[in-house]
Amino acid sequence: MSHDNDNKTRLGRRQFLKLSATAMSAAAVGMTVGCGSSSSSDSAETAAPRAVLPTSTAWKFGVISDTQWTKNDDGENPASTAVDIINNVNDEFVRHGVKLVVAVGDLTDDARQNFTATHTPTGTVISYTAEDGFGIRARYTQRLYNEGIGFFPLRGNHDDSAAAATQFLRFFPQTRTGEQNNQSIQSTAYSVQNPDVQWLPEIPRTNTAAFTMGSNFSSPVSANISDMTGLSYSFDYSNVRFVLLDHFTAEDGAYNDTTPVENAVETTANPIMHQQDWISGRLSGRSANTHAFCFAHKGLLTQDHSDVMFGYTVDNILAPDFSTFAAPGLDEYITSLEENGVRYHINGHDHMHDRSLVKSLNGSEAKVMQIVTASDSSKFYTPGSDVEDTAADYGITLVNKSNDALLWGGQRQELVAQELYTVGYYIFTVDGPVVTVDFYSAPAYAEDSFSTTPTLNFSKRETFGYSLNGESYTIAQGGDLTVVDSTSTGGTNAKIINGKNGNLQQESASGRRFNIHVNTGWLDAQDSLSEIFFLNGMAYTMGSEQTDVFTLSMSYDSSKVSSAEIAGGKFGIATNDEDGTWINAVNQNFGGGNTFVQREWQSDDKLGTWGVDTASGTVWAVVNYNGYFAVVKGMA
């Protein structure tokens, strides 16, 4: 069973602490940010200002990937489906209060065809069909349906056949209409072959009422592709447009994968490149100030697999040489995402947690964050092993096993984060312009695979995110953090005035170095109160929220604070504690002290030093974490 370790980390308590309009109005006498508050500088001191946690518009969705069971059925994983892991992760989604879940492919391991599996408890060999496999996956989605949580799946290469397309569309009508928990379909899902009913915990159907989630459903239509209705699809929920991309075999048997053959000549029926007009239209046609996320099973440029959603296989690369291989449509796709403000492409297939920026090479200078999702299966991969093993078949020894170096001369990819050999899931929190992503994982206790699901003790491993109204910075190892400089629409300036990226990590397979990807943003407030600064992405050690030591500076309106209030030691940069109180930012540091000075920052100021520079109208603090910051008077 899983355990909640949020209380052991700082961002779990603080990451989503927002100052709502209501709370800020009530706290007007206690806070001065940027160009200002309606409170008078000589107001009597009141209790420390507080916040509402989170804002009323915040909502969450989850991501799960590759729910394959590749071993014999041990009594808890029927029909090549990792049901035991699914049940664990579904409990986590319920605990986090998500509204919907996206599954990014490989719903089963073998259900694309008729297949057999040995049932370990009885010693018998069970014969399955595609109906059994997809029926089992739908049956163990009932845990989500019982809570009114939507489920939006994609297929993967292990779901790739005409029969699989038919069963996918049969058991998951929500990909066309948004209808969830159809009573007739779920009754069928509970009637398919399941030899594990006496070993697996039963999921009772406590909610038998169908419900609809999402709106504005659409699928691509093109003369160049087969009918992809409900396979590739897009829909809206709240302030997000979801675009889910299928590149596999349609019901009519036309092959939709994008693997080119014979010197990159595109011969397949339904490659993603033929869906690009629809993709671009869905991304550009959404409402202003909304988010969009793109999902597919295969990635853009991954660490183990060389096959991606735009083509190429290891054999194409290694025979006869290592020349750069064209992936038709890849640059156009990345450029479309950049032009339409899409920050994340999310995929599975690689069975590891990996984040990187993937760049176009067509002169657009576009790039997008690729989030390769952690395995929810019985198997895991190692960066570079795919091409290394195939190279050995050709008598070739690879010196640098990076797919980026092998395929693109190291030009496409900037690494950000990676974790191997863990079972994981993702919680996206959407709060107005701000998106934060929490990655949770549990050790798998085996490098390559396991035959029985271990106890899954999930903990938060990293938090990252962005804001529609902020900036992004990619900072190499040893690079200056002082490039971070942002000004809100209300005139508040926040910038880092000292610090460097001290990350020394390298990817084990290729020796490539990891970058940090820093994101900023602003949260608005009413009643002339100024913005709150969002700072994210500087932590780089998995499982820790500590960053390098840096000095944050923010501007303030000198007319809104008196000399006595400044000297009193309760005016400066604040952050929120777990109870929603604005407290001195240095009090949340990892180590360090609390030293107040009334002067400009100096290069020998240590962690925990903070001050007010009245000459420049700024406050500053030496800290070592990310979060939400504001200039506050009356802070605790």
Over residues 13-17, mean pLDDT: 36
Mean pLDDT of 29-56: 50
Mean pLDDT of 232-239: 98
**Shared domain check, 79 and 38:** no
Q: What is the mean pLDDT of the chain?
A: 87
Q: What percent of the chain has pLDDT over 90?
A: 70
Question: How do residues 454-512 score in pLDDT, each as one tens digit?
Answer: 999 999 999 999 999 999 999 999 999 999 999 999 899 999 999 999 999 999 888 99
Per-residue model confidence (pLDDT) at position 321: 58
Residue 349 to residue 535: CA distance in whole angstroms: 31
Q: Is residue 460 part of a domain?
A: yes
- pLDDT confidence of residue 48: 75
Average pLDDT over residues 324-328: 67
Report the distance separating Cα 354 and Cα 350, nearest Å: 9
Residue partners of 510: CB distance under 8 A and separation at least 6: 383, 384, 400, 401, 402, 405
The dihedral through the CA atoms of 159, 165, 170, 173 has a sign that is positive
> Which parts of 142-290 are beta strand (E)?
150-154, 179-180, 211-212, 215-218, 233-237, 240-245
Domain that holds residue 557: 9-56+471-633
Within-domain flag for 370: yes
Pair (491, 605) in one structural domain: yes
**Are 115 and 71 in the same domain?**
yes
| 127 has pLDDT over 80 | yes
- The span from the CA of 446 to the CA of 348, in Å, is 20
Structural domain includes residue 2: no
Domain-terminating residue out of 452, 467, 482: 467
| pLDDT above 70 (res 8) | no
Same domain? For 347 and 460 the reply is yes
Identify whether residues 391 and 364 lie together within a single domain.
yes
**Could you tell me the CA-to-CA distances from 270 to 18, 162, 250 in Å, in that order?**
44, 13, 9
Backbone CA torsion sign across 330, 334, 335, 339:
positive
Question: Averaged over 216-234, what is the pLDDT?
Answer: 91
Place of tokens 């030691």: 569
| Sequential DSSP letters for 107-163 | -SSSTTS-EEEEETTTTEEEEE-HHHHHHHHHHTTHHHHHTT-EEEEE--GGG-SHH
* Dist. CA 353–CA 375, nearest whole Å: 8
Could you tell me which residues come within 8 angstroms of residue 423 by beta carbon, excluding any fewer than 6 positions away? 85, 88, 89, 374, 375, 376, 441, 442, 444, 456
pLDDT at 255: 61
If DSSP states are collapsed to H, E and C, what string results for 307-366?
CECCECCHHHHHCCCCCCCCCCCHHHHHHHHHHCCCCEEEECCCCCEEEEEEECCCCCCC
Please say whether the beta carbons of 322 and 398 come within 8 A.
no
Residues 106, 29: one domain? no
Is 166 found in the same domain as 265?
Answer: yes
What pLDDT score was predicted for residue 580? 78
Maximum pairwise Cα distance, the chain: 82
Q: State the pLDDT at residue 447.
A: 72
Cβ(522)–Cβ(470) under 8 Å? yes
pLDDT exceeds cutoff 50 at 259:
no
Predicted local distance difference test score (pLDDT) of residue 553: 98
Q: Specify if 273 maps to a domain.
A: yes
Residue with the bigger pLDDT between 537 and 581: it is 537
What is the rounded CA–CA span in Å between residue 6 and residue 418?
Answer: 21
Residue 325: predicted pLDDT: 62
3-state secondary structure of 289: coil
354 or 263, which is more confident? 354
The pLDDT score that the predictor gives to residue 581 is 85
Task: For residue 369, give the H/E element and its range.
Answer: strand 367-372
153-176 mean pLDDT:
96
Each residue's pLDDT tens digit, 604-626: 999 999 999 999 999 999 999 99
Confidence at residue 527, expressed as pLDDT on a 0 to 100 scale: 32
Mark whether 440 and 567 lie in a shared domain.
Answer: no
Pair 522, 404 in one domain: no
Q: Is 572 helix (H, G, I), strand (E, B) or coil?
A: strand
Highest mean pLDDT range out of 67-81, 221-235, 252-266, 390-404? Answer: 67-81
Show the tokens assigned to 602.
């100096």
Question: How far is 490 from 524, CA to CA, in rounded Å?
Answer: 9
Between CA 610 and CA 616, with CA 612 as vertex, the angle to 5 degrees is: 130
| Closest C-alpha to 328, from 406, 261, 425, 231 | 261
- Give dist(CA 238, CA 352) in Å, integer: 30
At 14 the pLDDT is: 38
Residues 382 and 498 in one domain: no
Mean pLDDT, residues 429-450 taken together: 90
Among 467, 487, 511, the domain boundary falls at 467
Same domain as 346, residue 278: yes
Structure tokens at 596: 């107040």
What CA–CA distance (Å, rounded) separates 51 from 46?
A: 15
Number of domains in the chain: 2
567 belongs to a structural domain: yes
Residue 616 is which amino acid?
S
- Dihedral of the alpha carbons of 375, 378, 382, 384, in degrees to the nearest 10: -90
User: CA 89 to CA 2: how far, in whole Å?
Assistant: 8
Place 528 in a pLDDT band, splitting at 50, 70 and 90.
very low
Cβ-Cβ contacts under 8 Å for 385 (sequence gap 6 or more): 304, 401, 509
Query: Is residue 38 over pLDDT 50?
Result: no
Q: In what order do the strands lie in the sheet with 459-467?
A: 150-154, 100-104, 59-64, 422-431, 434-443, 459-467
| pLDDT higher than threshold 60 for residue 548 | yes
Question: Of residues 634 and 133, which shows the higher confidence score?
Answer: 133
Tell me the C-alpha distance between 326 and 310, whole Å.
9
Q: Is residue 87 part of a domain?
A: yes
CATH code of 248's domain: 3.60.21.10
**Residues 6 or more apart whose Cβ sits within 8 Å of residue 389:** none
The pLDDT-based confidence of 394 (bands split at 50, 70, 90) is confident
Both tokens of 72, joined, read 């014999």
Return the higher-pLDDT residue of 432 and 27: 432
Q: Give residue 50's pLDDT.
A: 64
Residue 4 lies in a domain: no
pTM summary value: 0.91
- Distance separating alpha carbons of residues 553 and 572, to the nearest angstrom: 10
Query: Given 444, 467, 490, which residue is the final one in a domain?
Result: 467
Overall average pLDDT of the 273-294 stretch = 96
- Collapse the DSSP code of 614 into the 3-class scheme (helix H, G, I; strand E, B; otherwise coil) and give the result: coil
Report how far residue 183's alpha carbon sits from residue 415's, in angstroms, rounded to the nearest whole number: 45
Q: Is residue 1 part of a domain?
A: no
Is the peptide bond prior to 328 cis by the omega test (within 30 degrees of 0)?
Answer: no
The alpha-carbon radius of gyration of the chain (Å, integer) is: 26
Instruction: Tell me what pLDDT residue 226 has.
Output: 84
Are residue 460 and residue 485 in the same domain, yes or no? no
pLDDT greater at residue 417 or residue 11:
417
For residues 315-337, average pLDDT: 76
Give the DSSP letter string of 523-571.
E--STT---EEEEE----STT--EEEEEEEEEEB-GGGS-HHHHHTT-E
Angle at 424 between CA 421 and CA 426, to 5 degrees: 145
